[in-house]
Chains A and B, each alone.
Chain A
Amino acid sequence: MAGRVLTCQIDGQDVSGLEESTILEVAREHHIRIPTLCHVPGLPEAGACRVCLVEVEGAARLLPACVTRIAEGMKVKTESERLLKYRRMTVEMLFAERNHICSVCVSNGHCDLQWLAQTLGVDHIRFPYRYPALPVDSSHARFVADHNRCVLCLRCVRVCGEIEGAHTWDVMGRGADCLVITDLAQPWGESASCTSCGKCVQVCPTGALSEKGKSAGEMAKQRRFLPYLTLMRGGNHV
């Protein structure tokens, strides 16, 4: 059911979009760049990473562009000192939270988190690293899950549940103890529901999920299948 067309302003530019559109969707349609991390074209939004925060006139808080719908007359700002500060802080906290050792990571040079840090000018982490002792699950015959590199974007959870329909991935624990898990926190290799399709690996933004046998810098992800699959299934979430 097509909704009404609403008009609003993004960075001073008059734009329009369907009323169910998000700020992110309308911005991208009009070639206005908003940085994202948990967002992947073809998957339902999670609003998990807070990297796409924007300023909306009249709103006291910063709002995530990926899950905030446009409204008639809305005035949005996607770039400001304040936004840059918060986005940088968010990315720095992601680095500080776990053990992101880019130099030896399978995704070095192909990593969304690394790329984001570069584009935001993150050259130092101002927060103390937590250095959590996190496991590597290498029990699957073809894939490896390294929780040290996970940013909890939930892309794996969403692609597994919404696209593959297996719902092998889910989330356990709260706050700093939060982990993505396979089935009921069993080793991935023992998961009864996993179809070994590998979609989770390909959508993972970092080296958290990778193909077994890859060495440092070798894990380039292939994501072009996703919008195609979604389109073929009726066009939801594109």
Chain B
Amino acid sequence: MTKRTLVIDPVTRIEGHSKITIQLDEQGRVADARFHVTQFRGFEKICENRPFHEMPALMARICGICPVSHLITSAKACDAILAVAVPKTAVHLRRILNLAQILQSHALSLFHLSSPDLLLGMDSDPLRRNLFGLAQTHPEVARDGIRLRQVGQTIIEILGGKRIHPAWVVPGGVSAPLTAEKRDQIRDLLPEGLVALNRRLDQFKELFAQFPEEVDSFAHFPSLFLGLVDDHGDLEHYNGPARVIGSGGAVVKDGFAAGAYPEYIGEINEHDSYLKSAYYKPFGYPDGIYRVGPLARLNIARRCGTPRADRELEDLRALSKGPALASFHYHQARMVEMLFCLERIEQLLNEPAILDTHVRAQAAVNAEEGIAMAEAPRGLLLHHYKVDRDGLVRWANLIIATGHNNLAMNRGVLQTAQRFVDGERLTEGALNRVEAVIRAFDPCLSCSTHAYGQMPLEVELRDVSGGLLDVRRR
């Protein structure tokens, strides 16, 4: 038999456009596998020569799922250009917005995109293995997932004026304070979210336990983990220095601020993907492979800092000795974080100064460079701008969560393909598992959602000279 290449194009039920290629050797065994991001956005160029005050709204357009992450990180980079202290109330309000988005995004990832694999089965009929199929077989799960996402989206709408691309976060703070009426509206939403999530927690924990093979082979390997922590080393999504830990849990680097990122984060262009791969610079490429996102954050943090989430964190930690190295556990980590978001939003709403009307600091350009980090649902997000004296952006660098995870996703695709794909006998379920490992990371490759599970999956079998041997479509 000759060497062959399998192509999974596009990868479905993720955010954005990508494909996977699997190289088979002469014996039909998996020799290599790669995850390719096939779209190009170009926001680092688009923003050039625009006034920096436009950046939060412009950068939010990168994504329709996590616009708030870009909005907040961009505004923080602009705060650095203004060189002002953002009013404390504005920081609390930004935090609430960010947590609401993490809640809705995690709900989307787990319930809308990944739970069809988990509840209907990795090998189930691909035509029904989607949210609509789920709504038929498990309507109560679909309903809770949709409701949880709605809670997050509604909080974003109440605060920012609209669910997608709210322009409320501005350089120096937020554009309008919170009113008592809006605070109460948000507060009223939280109990229903908690009830819906609690209904699903035990069910899903039992469900996750039914996938031991996937736990073992879905990007399960030692790597570094990167994420923000607060002053006490607890879970943090808005501020705080970044911490890097090793696969054994030891702190490799503690407390590096956003401005120091060039010392620690390197990026490399891959020849076959529009997504750059980030690596931990002191360890070099590719040894500096690390992971970000909910699982990384929970591996790094001492604790969540809210009672229910901390109890669930104990359950998550009981699954592994030391940091969880199995990327399958990202799913459970999302549930812990959703719980944290709901609890923490309530705490923030109870802050005595939450209705204070001083929510914006005004200034001109006081620094010609601004760098900021914040935690997006999928992991650490970094915006770095250079502006001229008049405040026009001259240069920008963005490192998004999916870039941090790119090396790990590639290694995960290979690991899963080697475990499940047999070149002699191609099965749809095996190929779906190769996609499902990507879904565990919840990559965000673009700003648009897609018709999950309904897009065509086409696998072509080609010989070494590129001749088509066989095609499978769904």
**B is a partner of A:** yes
Q: Which residues of B contact A213 (CB under 8 A)?
A: 53, 171, 362, 364
A106 to B390, CA, bound (A): 17
Contact A136 B53 (CB under 8 A): no
User: Told that A135-B49, A212-B51 touch, could you supply 18 new A-B pairs with CB distance under 8 A?
Assistant: A103-B57, A103-B165, A104-B57, A108-B167, A136-B392, A139-B390, A141-B364, A144-B51, A212-B364, A213-B364, A215-B54, A215-B56, A215-B175, A216-B57, A216-B58, A216-B167, A217-B167, A218-B175
CB of A191 within 8 Å of the partner chain? no
A189 to B53, CA, bound (A): 18
Q: Which residues of B contact A189 (CB under 8 A)?
A: 390
CB of A138 within 8 Å of the partner chain? yes
A103 to B390, CA, bound (A): 23
Shortest beta-carbon distance from B383 to chain A in Å: 15
Q: Which residues of A contact B390 (CB under 8 A)?
A: 138-139, 189
Contact A136 B51 (CB under 8 A): yes
CB of A214 within 8 Å of the partner chain? yes
Q: Which residues of B contact A141 (CB under 8 A)?
A: 364
Q: Which residues of B contact A106 (CB under 8 A)?
A: 53-54
Residue of A nearest to B390 (CB): A138
Total chain B interface residues with beta-carbon distance under 8 A: 19
Contact A136 B49 (CB under 8 A): yes
Contact B57 A215 (CB under 8 A): yes
CB pairs A–B below 8 angstroms (18 shown):
A103-B57, A103-B61, A104-B57, A104-B61, A108-B167, A136-B50, A136-B392, A212-B53, A213-B171, A214-B53, A215-B54, A215-B57, A215-B167, A216-B57, A216-B58, A217-B57, A217-B167, A218-B167
Known: A104-B57, A215-B57, A215-B170. A138 touches B51 (CB 8 A): yes
Shortest beta-carbon distance from B163 to chain A in Å: 14
Chain A interface (Cβ < 8 Å from any Cβ of B): 103-104, 106, 108, 135-136, 138-139, 141, 144, 146, 189, 212-218
A22 to B51, CA, bound (A): 40
Chain B interface (Cβ < 8 Å from any Cβ of A): 49-51, 53-54, 56-58, 61, 165, 167, 170-171, 175, 362, 364, 390-392
Contact B392 A138 (CB under 8 A): yes
A146 to B49, CA, bound (A): 10
Binding site secondary structure of chain A: loop
A222 to B225, CA, bound (A): 52
Contact A215 B53 (CB under 8 A): yes
Shortest beta-carbon distance from B173 to chain A in Å: 11
Q: Which residues of B contact A135 (CB under 8 A)?
A: 49
A213 to B170, CA, bound (A): 10
Q: Which residues of B contact A139 (CB under 8 A)?
A: 390
Residue of B nearest to A140 (CB): B390
A108 to B167, CA, bound (A): 10
A106 to B167, CA, bound (A): 10
Shortest beta-carbon distance from B242 to chain A in Å: 27
Contact B170 A104 (CB under 8 A): no
Shortest beta-carbon distance from A109 to chain B in Å: 9
Q: Which residues of A contact B57 (CB under 8 A)?
A: 103-104, 215-217
A135 to B392, CA, bound (A): 10
A156 to B167, CA, bound (A): 28
- The 4 A-B residue pairs whose C-beta atoms are closest, nearest first, are A216-B57, A138-B390, A215-B170, A216-B167
Contact A216 B54 (CB under 8 A): yes
Contact B170 A138 (CB under 8 A): no
Q: Which residues of A contact B175 (CB under 8 A)?
A: 215, 218
Which of B49, B53, B61, B392 is packed against the most chain A CB atoms within 10 Å?
Answer: B53
Residue of B nearest to A135 (CB): B49
Residue of A nearest to B393 (CB): A136
Residue of A nearest to B49 (CB): A136
Q: Which residues of A contact B364 (CB under 8 A)?
A: 141, 212-213
A215 to B390, CA, bound (A): 15
Shortest beta-carbon distance from A115 to chain B in Å: 18
Q: Which residues of A contact B49 (CB under 8 A)?
A: 135-136
Shortest beta-carbon distance from A188 to chain B in Å: 10
Shortest beta-carbon distance from A143 to chain B in Å: 11
Shortest beta-carbon distance from B74 to chain A in Å: 11
A135 to B391, CA, bound (A): 13
Shortest beta-carbon distance from A210 to chain B in Å: 9
Q: Which residues of A contact B51 (CB under 8 A)?
A: 136, 138, 144, 146, 212
Residue of B nearest to A216 (CB): B57
A146 to B51, CA, bound (A): 9
Residue of B nearest to A105 (CB): B54
Shortest beta-carbon distance from B45 to chain A in Å: 12
Q: Which residues of B contact A103 (CB under 8 A)?
A: 57, 61, 165
Q: Which residues of A contact B58 (CB under 8 A)?
A: 104, 216
A213 to B365, CA, bound (A): 10
A48 to B75, CA, bound (A): 38
A106 to B170, CA, bound (A): 12
A50 to B466, CA, bound (A): 59
